[in-house]
Structure 1
Amino acid sequence: MLQKSPCTVFFLLLSIVLLSACSRQDIYQKAIGFERSAAGLEAASITLGELDIAYLRNADMNSGDTIVMVHGFGANKDNWTRMARELTDKFNVYAIDLPGHGESSKPLDLGYRLDQQVAHLARILQALDIAEMHMMGNSMGGAITALYAAAYPEQIKTAVLFDPAGILEYESELFDLVVAGDNPLIPSKPGDFERLMDFALEKKPFIPWPVLGVMEDQALANQTVNKVIFAAIRDAGFETDFRSIVSRIKAPVLVVWGKEDRVINYRNGEVFVDIIPGARLEVLDGVGHVPMIEAPEESARLFLEFAKSHAPKAG
């Protein structure tokens, strides 16, 4: 098995790009495969009625707790692989492609309000027989994690919210752009995906150009469903109810926010911890909207220390 080293993965990817006669899609699949393998993860799927749900899980299960990872808007399960690399030795990780995202089904009429997405996730976890877990989510996934923790308190050991959506008391650069009719989170033409990366990430990871090209193709292909999901969340008028609901969370909550976040202002983290009893806030300098990609080791360390501090006392 590959050693869990970013350098190993980097040189393997570089060798593929330089030496392989494969297509861009083949290179992408091999690169993603290397990332997953290095993180100790494997791909799997489950069918729920007419929905096919893709997810990543430990290639080798262990006796540790379960962690469920919930990605953000327009993202997918592979946003978590670099952080998961730090966790799969001691935890059983499940990174889910929510409906409408990644390799999961993308029906336009499913219902994508935040509360509806919580219900979809509950169905998925029930089908996977996951009844107790640490849950973490980023952006939209952070809002879903918070709502899930409030709705299913008996299931959640700890909740970690990375730059969560749901509260917009302090406006961001994204707000002004969306009001002006320009949403950088939904690529619509060539070049827009690189703009999205520049906008969302302060610290961009190395991505070989063939892989970046396939990622842009996927984002452009998902433009229609992404518009439906964004509109469902934006038009729900849910913020007042959201605050009331998350104030009922019983589980320990850690909020982690990149200070350079242009998507959601990091000062909204102060509002989250004021509302959620006992919640703790960590602000990361030099990090943008996606800490688990930009600072995976630091993100994992914060979770591990937080989980340890809230673990049941022996004896």
Structure 2
Amino acid sequence: MSSTESPSVPAASVLPKVAPVRVGEGERLRSVGLPGVTLSIRSRRPAREGLPPALYVHGLGGSSQNWSTLMAELDGVVDSEALDLPGFGDSPPPDDGNYSVTGHARAVIRYLDAAGRGPVHLLGNSLGGAVTTRVAAVRPDLVRTLTLVSPALPELRIQRTAAPTALLGVPGVAALFTRLTKEWTAEQRVRGVMALCYGDPSRVSPEAFQDAVEELERRLQLPYFWDAMARSARGIVNAYTLGGQHGLWRQAERVLAPTLLVYGGRDQLVGFRMAGRAARSFPDFRLLSLPDAGHVAMMEYPDVVATAFRELLGDTGRLSTDAEDADSGVAAPGAGS
């Protein structure tokens, strides 16, 4: 594994020069070269030595920035890293062009194996929830706990508001959409995304909105932006159709790690009713229902999600920073009951 560190250096020199990626206070960004893929990793300086490691995986069209607020909330609890999936954020496309759920999961596994930080507390949102479910099922040795925020697990009847996202995976639709919306400003696009993803878009601060606009303007300059979106959307649709041992719900049943499930009552992309299906599928689960949240509860209610995460760690003894303490069931001070 090769790694270069910089607050704003593009992940690959062959890519066109675009505006630098935003790095929040207390964060750093580095590029990690792995076989077949280069990943951008966002991290925070640990509050103290010996904290258990955590890795965060974003959803379709998102980036590691989606986790910045929650990562800050969990300072002193875990040693946080968030990655940009291949083709998103500051990570260039994968060498093989594989944007399937399995392809993304393979990238996460390669990073964890190379970094040697596992087992980690693994957190995923939307597409990242599907990816991390697959990682936890096939490599239980890499996962201490699993936290899923509105995971994109198969629904027989998707919500009408989620249909355009699914259609993005149909060949040619992304190119058509690009042509039809070429006059849209970045502000218009961001408002549309926030209306879709947030339970209450008015909760977004003017500063956060402007940051999102600047990030979208940066990413729209990348020649692979729409291709990564379309192929990843297609990957989700394809994962929904898989049956047998490779089906995501079947893999959920094989997850050994204690799992926190977070669902929003105003989620327009993942049906709130899926919380019941998830609760019946993951063997060791805790459910956090947020009636006013949308699709990105970790951005809308980071304090509530952080509290539930700390309680998960306290309940399972995973707050311990020492393996022997974890084995004996001794939780660190401040653990939830």
Q: Same fold (TM over 0.5)?
A: yes
Structure 2 distance, partners of 1:172, 1:239, is 21
Secondary structure of 1:235's aligned partner: helix
Tell me the amino acid that sits aligned with residue 45 of structure 1: S
Paired position in structure 1 for 2:330: 314
Structure 1 residues 107 and 135: alpha-carbon distance in aligned structure 2, compared to 1, 3 A threshold:
closer
Paired position in structure 2 for 1:265: 271
Structure 2 residue 224 is matched with structure 1 residue 224: no
Paired position in structure 2 for 1:192: 189
Alpha-carbon deviations, 1:240-294, whole Å to 9, x = none?
A: 6111121111111110011100011011111011011132221102110001101
Whether the 8 Å contact between 1:200 and 1:261 is mirrored in structure 2 is: yes
Tell me the amino acid that sits aligned with residue 223 of structure 1: W
- CA shift, 1:297, in A, is 0.6
Structure 2 distance, partners of 1:101, 1:87, is 24
Unpaired runs of 5+ residues, structure 1, are 1-24
Structure 2 distance, partners of 1:235, 1:159, is 23
Secondary structure of 2:73's aligned partner: coil
Structure 1 residues 179 and 295: alpha-carbon distance in aligned structure 2, compared to 1, 3 A threshold:
closer
Whether the 8 Å contact between 2:124 and 2:151 is mirrored in structure 1 is: yes
- The RMSD of aligned alpha carbons is 2.5
Paired position in structure 2 for 1:95: 82
- TM-score normalised by structure 2 residue count: 0.76
Structure 2 distance, partners of 1:263, 1:177, is 10
Structure 1 residues 230-269: aligned runs within 5 Å:
230-236=233-239, 237-238=241-242, 241-269=247-275
Number of matched pairs: 282
Structure 2 residue 32 is matched with structure 1 residue 46: yes
Structure 1 distance, partners of 2:304, 2:259, is 17
Paired position in structure 2 for 1:166: 153
Structure 2 distance, partners of 1:176, 1:264, is 11
Whether the 8 Å contact between 1:167 and 1:239 is mirrored in structure 2 is: no
- TM-score normalised by structure 1 residue count: 0.81
Structure 2 distance, partners of 1:171, 1:94, is 32
Paired position in structure 1 for 2:43: 57
1:68 to 55, 60, 69: 55
2:138 to 147, 151, 154: 151
Structure 2 distance, partners of 1:224, 1:108, is 14
- CA shift, 1:117, in A, is 1.4
Secondary structure of 2:33's aligned partner: strand
Whether the 8 Å contact between 1:99 and 1:106 is mirrored in structure 2 is: yes
1:289 to 295, 310, 317: 295
Larger deviation, residues 284-293 vs 122-131: 122-131
Tell me the amino acid that sits aligned with residue 200 of structure 1: C
Secondary structure of 2:235's aligned partner: helix
Unpaired runs of 5+ residues, structure 2, are 1-17, 318-325, 332-337
Structure 1 residues 64 and 286: alpha-carbon distance in aligned structure 2, compared to 1, 3 A threshold:
same
Tell me the amino acid that sits aligned with residue 147 of structure 1: R
Alpha-carbon deviations, 1:152-203, whole Å to 9, x = none?
A: 11221110110001221452233444577799xx784322232011111123
